[in-house]
Amino acid sequence: MAGSFYYADSFTNEEGLISPAKDEGNGLEEADIPPRYKTLIYDRERTPPRFVIALHPDYDHPAPGWEKVTGKQVQADYPGVLGG
């Protein structure tokens, strides 16, 4: 899959909707999400839960606090999530 991969903490808003968080040093807040974003997996089992994210090359604009990872690392942590 083309594009970049990221790990991000999750943020639950007041209506219970769960999205990736951003961390600008003031605690976790809901992140601005670029177009053509994809959640590869939402790891609820992990503490704290974590989003595994793929960003499209045209909109590779990660939010503060997102950890950039390689496809190889994603594949190692979450076998099969990238297919192939």
Partner 1 sequence: MAINWHWAFGDEDGTILTSGPGFGFSSAVGAFTGSDNSYTYIGSPARYSLGLTSTGVVTFPAAAFPSTAKGWVAAPVKRISSADLAFSSTIYNILRINGAGTGRTIGVRPGGDSKSLRFYVDNVLKETTAPYDWDEWHYLSVQFDMSTATWSGQLFIDGLAATAAYTDASSAEVSGSIQMQGMGSPVTGDWLIGQIICYDDTADAGELPRFCTRVEANVDGTNVGTWTPSVGVDDYAVLESPIDTSTYTQNAAPSASDRVQTLTNNGGANLATALGTTPTVVDSVLNHSFSGGQVLTAKALVGDGVAETSGANTPIGGAGTYYAYALANTKPSGGAWGSTDAPELVYEIVST
When the beta carbons of 43 and 77 are compared against partner 1, the nearer one is 43
When the beta carbons of 16 and 57 are compared against partner 1, the nearer one is 16
| Least distance (Å) between residue 5 CB and partner 1 | 15
One-letter amino acid for residue 15 of the chain: E
| Least distance (Å) between residue 82 CB and partner 1 | 14
> What is the binding site for partner 1 (CB under 8 A)?
13-20, 30, 32-39, 42, 51, 59
**Torsion angle defined by CA atoms of residues 13, 9, 51 and 47, in that order, rounded to the nearest 10 degrees:** -100
When the beta carbons of 32 and 67 are compared against partner 1, the nearer one is 32
- DSSP characters for 31-82? PP--TT-EEEEEESSSSS-EEEEEE-GGG--PPTTPEEE-HHHHHHHSTTTT
| Least distance (Å) between residue 51 CB and partner 1 | 8
